[in-house]
Amino acid sequence: MYTGTHLLADLSGCSGLDDAARVELALREAVAAASATLLDVRLHHFGPGQGVTGVALLAESHISIHTWPEHGYAAVDIFLCGQSHDLDAALAALSTRLEAGRCDERRVARGYGLPD
Amino acid sequence: MYTGTHLLADLSGCSGLDDAARVELALREAVAAASATLLDVRLHHFGPGQGVTGVALLAESHISIHTWPEHGYAAVDIFLCGQSHDLDAALAALSTRLEAGRCDERRVARGYGLPD
């Protein structure tokens, strides 16, 4: 049975990836854009000029981001259960806030008893 | 450039998926089995008999789990950067603790400038 869609996105050419406040804002904007329900948001900044790890726990699963500012690269995953949430809008919000120049994405259907 | 591997696993036939303490233990055992560095662990229990959402933030990215006890189903993702960490051991730890009867997994290479 279908449970949800897991979107993996690699964002390149980004700005502000060493700015924890900006990464948190991007996460929160993605949650709002998806019309998802935020339970908790946790960030870890590895230090000045370094990357940020952030996760938004959602009633519908999660959105995570890990950044490598030295490469302008961020690895994002957006996992939303149910069919009424907008993954594209969430990804667009992240890409816009982080000024991504390129976005490579893959989508994986998640659930139990899915056909092989 | 290769950054890490993102493993998505669908666990079926599991036990204890409405037990937040057991889910947290499974997460912590997975982190230890992977030889990863735990920064923070956050769980949300949706209520008695209901599912649990949990995320372990790691220096190497994250491990997440979302459970549907009514279906014995758990959606797991294990994203570990670098090449010295053991994703298989992490997944085995989760599967063992949750007594999964079946595990369907997919692995995705993450990073910037990967070939299409």
Contacts of A36 in chain B (CB under 8 A): none
Assess if residue B116 is contained within a domain.
Answer: no
d(CA B53, CA B30): 15
**Residue stretches of chain A with pLDDT short of 50:** none
Cα of A14 vs its chain's centroid, Å: 14
B45 in Cβ contact with B65 (< 8 Å): no
d(CA A89, CA B95): 33
B23 in Cβ contact with B67 (< 8 Å): yes
Q: Tell me: the pLDDT tens digits for B9-51? A: 999 999 999 999 999 999 999 999 999 999 999 999 999 999 9
Instruction: Dig out the tokens for A45 from the structure.
Output: 């900044």
Say yes or no for a CB contact (<8 Å) between B57 and A53. Answer: yes
Residue of A46, A68, A110 with shortest CB distance to B75:
A110
Mean confidence (pLDDT) of chain B: 93
Assess if residue B6 is contained within a domain.
Answer: yes
Assess if residue A61 is contained within a domain.
Answer: yes
Say yes or no for a CB contact (<8 Å) between B64 and A62. Answer: yes
Assess if residue A107 is contained within a domain.
Answer: yes
Assess if residue A43 is contained within a domain.
Answer: yes
Q: Which helix (H) or strand (E) holds B26?
A: helix B20-33
d(CA A91, CA A103): 9
Q: Which residue range(s) make up the domain with A95?
A: 2-111
Residue A45's Cβ-count burial label (10 Å; 0-12, 13-18, 19+) is middle
Query: A71: which residues sit within 8 A by CB, 6+ positions away?
Result: A12, B1, B112
Assess if residue B103 is contained within a domain.
Answer: yes
Say yes or no for a CB contact (<8 Å) between A55 and B55. Answer: yes
What is the pLDDT, as a whole number, of residue A114? 58
**Residue B66 vs residues A15, A93, B14, B19: alpha-carbon distances, Å:** 31, 24, 12, 12
Question: Could you tell me the pTM of the whole model?
Answer: 0.93
Helix axes A87-97, A20-33, angle to 10 degrees: 160
Residue A104's Cβ-count burial label (10 Å; 0-12, 13-18, 19+) is middle
* Assembly ipTM: 0.91
What is the pLDDT, as a whole number, of residue A1? 64
Assess if residue B91 is contained within a domain.
Answer: yes
**Residue A69 vs residues A32, A49, A102, B108: alpha-carbon distances, Å:** 25, 7, 15, 22
Contacts of B79 in chain A (CB under 8 A): 64, 66, 75, 77
d(CA B31, CA B76): 13
Give the CATH number of the domain where residue A78 resides. Answer: 3.60.90.10
Residue of A72, A77, A112 with shortest CB distance to B10:
A112
Q: Tell me: the pLDDT tens digits for B56-104? A: 999 999 999 999 999 999 999 999 987 778 999 999 999 999 999 999 9
Q: Among A7, A10, A45, A116, pick the best mutation site for testing chain B contact (most B Cβ within 10 A).
A: A10
Say yes or no for a CB contact (<8 Å) between A108 and B106. Answer: yes
Assess if residue A116 is contained within a domain.
Answer: no
Domains in chain A, number: 1
